Amino acid sequence: MISVSRATAVARKEIRQLLRDRLTFGMIIGIPLLQMTLFGYAINTDVRHLRAGVADLADTQLSRMLIADAEASQVIDVVERTHSAEELRALLRKGTIYVGVVIPRDFERRVQSGHRVAAQLMVDGSDPLVLQSARGLLDLPVPGRARRVPAAGAARTFELRAYYNPERRSEVQIIPGLIGVILTMTMVLFTAVAIVRERERGNLELLINTPVRTIELMMGKIVPYIAIGLIQVSLVLLVGSIVFRVPIRGSLVDIYLSAFAFILASLSFGLLLSTVARSQFQAAQMTIFFLLPSILLSGFMFPFDGMPRAAQIIAEVLPLTHFVRMIRGVVLRAATIEEVGSEILPLAIFFAFTLAIALVRFQKRLD
């Protein structure tokens, strides 16, 4: 016999508990809000404002007008000016720019002839969305060459050269970044439950009465996971290169150095969660809360440059953003650790900051 009143009593109790569990309640509200904000606002597959470099070798009034028009299209923002295509290529490899505009010395003559492409676009093709956006510039009219539709036989304004992923396979783009997503998920969760589990099982009361120091406890919790993290990196690289034929162009040492910095940042954040969460379940919930923006804002799924400023600022705080930049640079563009090293500093700051808060928060007391 099903008793309605018993069922109602249970339901009432559940609702009461839910209202008292602020975290769960917050997530019930927070996740839909977060998702809607992310998908509806921050994520934009129509990528604009790509960071670009220009090598204007012609340096004429006409060439400057072309660059101004390209900027006016909002597809690119010129952030670097160089004197050779070679320098642009270096910036592209470092990840400073996504697009390089090369205007050759004989630009005016090419425009006049009308049958030769006037200039070149170099694009970081490892991200298909970036490539697609840059494509929109190909038929940008040259100010002098007035015409509405490209006449038959007339050349386009730009020729496009896609670097790093000429076949435009998205798995090449996805897999290096996926290392970061997997590490975020596992590293943060493991350490997030680490201390909470001890508290739940009663071990902590014994442990805090021993001379073990907080920092020792924290380090002891971190170190095993560094090894686990590096094993995960190896696994993804191995499967990635064998199954998905992802080219590993950079050095393995550089890959592991980048991963090491990222793992530390993720683990210390997990520890911080562990000092906040009251149960293992809460720790897991908080991990998901962190994982979602990491995946969506880090540039792993959508190009960083396509996001509005506010989303970019949040993304800069997330360790995954910096790791995705590093790992793609090293794996796909053969960048060296020196070239992408500027991304290590934010990771180091994140690590030091979260660990410091975790240490302060964790008291060797029960109250």
57 phi/psi in degrees, rounded to 5:
-80, -25
CB-wise, 223 or 243, nearer to other proteins?
223
The first and second tokens of residue 170, run together, are 């998205």
Q: Which of 43, 155, 208, 248 binds other proteins (CB under 8 A)?
A: 208
Tell me the site size for other proteins, rule CB under 8 A: 16
Q: How far apart are CA 101 and CA 160, in angstroms?
A: 10
CB-wise, 195 or 265, nearer to other proteins?
195
Site for other proteins in 40-79 (CB under 8 A): none
Residues in contact with 325: Cβ distance below 8 Å, sequence separation at least 6, in sequence order:
95, 299, 340, 343
Q: Would you call 50 helix, strand, or coil by DSSP? A: strand
User: Is 197 among the residues that bind other proteins (CB under 8 A)?
Assistant: no
Binding window for other proteins (CB under 8 A); candidates: 49-57, 202-210, 295-303, 342-350: 202-210
User: Is 278 among the residues that bind other proteins (CB under 8 A)?
Assistant: no
User: Is 207 among the residues that bind other proteins (CB under 8 A)?
Assistant: yes
Tell me the H-state helices in the chain. Answer: 4-20, 22-37, 61-72, 85-94, 107-113, 128-135, 170-201, 203-207, 214-243, 252-276, 280-297, 309-317, 319-333, 337-340, 344-361
User: Is 202 among the residues that bind other proteins (CB under 8 A)?
Assistant: yes
CB-wise, 86 or 367, nearer to other proteins?
367
From residue 143, alpha-carbon distances to 64, 70, 126, 224, 279 in Å are 10, 11, 31, 62, 65
Q: For every residue of 208-241, which 3-state class applies, written as one string?
A: CCCCCCHHHHHHHHHHHHHHHHHHHHHHHHHHHH
Binding window for other proteins (CB under 8 A); candidates: 126-134, 198-206, 282-290, 334-342: 198-206
User: Is 20 among the residues that bind other proteins (CB under 8 A)?
Assistant: no
Taking the complex as a whole, the smallest distance from the CB of residue 199 to other proteins amounts, in Å, to: 11
Binding window for other proteins (CB under 8 A); candidates: 234-242, 320-328, 339-347, 358-366: 358-366
Asked if residue 121 lies in contact with residue 138, where contact means CB atoms within 8 angstroms, the answer is: yes
CB-wise, 212 or 252, nearer to other proteins?
212
User: Is 223 among the residues that bind other proteins (CB under 8 A)?
Assistant: no
User: Is 212 among the residues that bind other proteins (CB under 8 A)?
Assistant: yes
CB-wise, 20 or 115, nearer to other proteins?
20
Q: Which of 203, 227, 278, 348 binds other proteins (CB under 8 A)?
A: 203
User: Is 364 among the residues that bind other proteins (CB under 8 A)?
Assistant: yes
Strands 99-103 and 50-56: parallel
User: Is 366 among the residues that bind other proteins (CB under 8 A)?
Assistant: yes
The first and second tokens of residue 134, run together, are 């840059």
Residues that bind other proteins (CB under 8 A): 201-212, 364-367
